[in-house]
Amino acid sequence: MLVFNLLKIGASPSRDLADTLVRAWPSYTAYVVSFMTIGIMWMNHHAMLSRISKVDSRLLALNLFLLMGVVAIPFPTALVAEHLHGPAAANGQAQTAVVTYGLVMIAIAIGYASIWLYMAGHQAKLGARQVRVPRLTTLRFTGGNVGYLGGTLIALVAPQVALVIFGLLALYYLSVPLPDPDVPDDRELPEES
């Protein structure tokens, strides 16, 4: 549904097309950031669930909650694309749009943390393969939560700055994905004993 936000750009026939396309740069930025975010989430989700061999009903429910957040991403993406600049950006509408984006990201981060904590606490029941939670992974989850929370607070006064933070978070997760348990990982910090 992300591309649906792009389809709306060309639907206003009464203006100069080249000008319309250039002015729509927030839509392209939002499309790229959200697409990358969804892609990274999909990869992390796969890496996370490939550590266990069974699921129970509670994990399915947590998973459903997470998926509900990820599927909703096109909604705040459209808000940001349409209200980031131009006349609609007046009256704090850019702030409202980016704060909404941040709130959806926080909900998704909570979903990830819940699944990870549930998996860490029920390893035997779930047939988990990698039993210890590495320190780096804990740092990553904490960092993501703090980053999205901080970005959302910053969006109240400087929505453009918050968007840059969200973009940098996506780039970080893209360059340092969650380690796949199938491949030996030399990026892990030494673990607690």
Sites of contact with a copy of itself (CB under 8 A): 1-7, 9-11, 13, 16-18, 21, 31-32, 35-36, 39-40, 43, 54, 56-57, 60-61, 64, 67-68, 71-72, 74-75, 78-79, 82-83, 88, 91-93, 96-97, 100, 174-177, 183
- Gap between the Cα atoms of 52 and 129, Å rounded: 6
Residue 95 or 130 with smaller CB distance to a copy of itself: 95
Residue 8 or 132 with smaller CB distance to a copy of itself: 8
Min CB(45)–a copy of itself separation in Å: 13
Min CB(145)–a copy of itself separation in Å: 22
Residue 79 or 165 with smaller CB distance to a copy of itself: 79
Min CB(64)–a copy of itself separation in Å: 4
Min CB(192)–a copy of itself separation in Å: 25
- Sign of CA pseudo-dihedral 159, 165, 168, 169: negative
Residue 78 or 115 with smaller CB distance to a copy of itself: 78
Min CB(60)–a copy of itself separation in Å: 6
Let me know: does 54 contact 126? Beta carbons within 8 Å.
Answer: yes
Q: Which residues contact 190 (CB under 8 A, 6 or more apart)?
A: 135
Let me know: does 6 contact 27? Beta carbons within 8 Å.
Answer: yes
Which of 68, 44, 8 has its CA nearest to residue 173?
Answer: 44
Let me know: does 162 contact 96? Beta carbons within 8 Å.
Answer: no
For 36, 74, 163, the CA distances from 168, given in Å and listed in that order, are 11, 19, 9
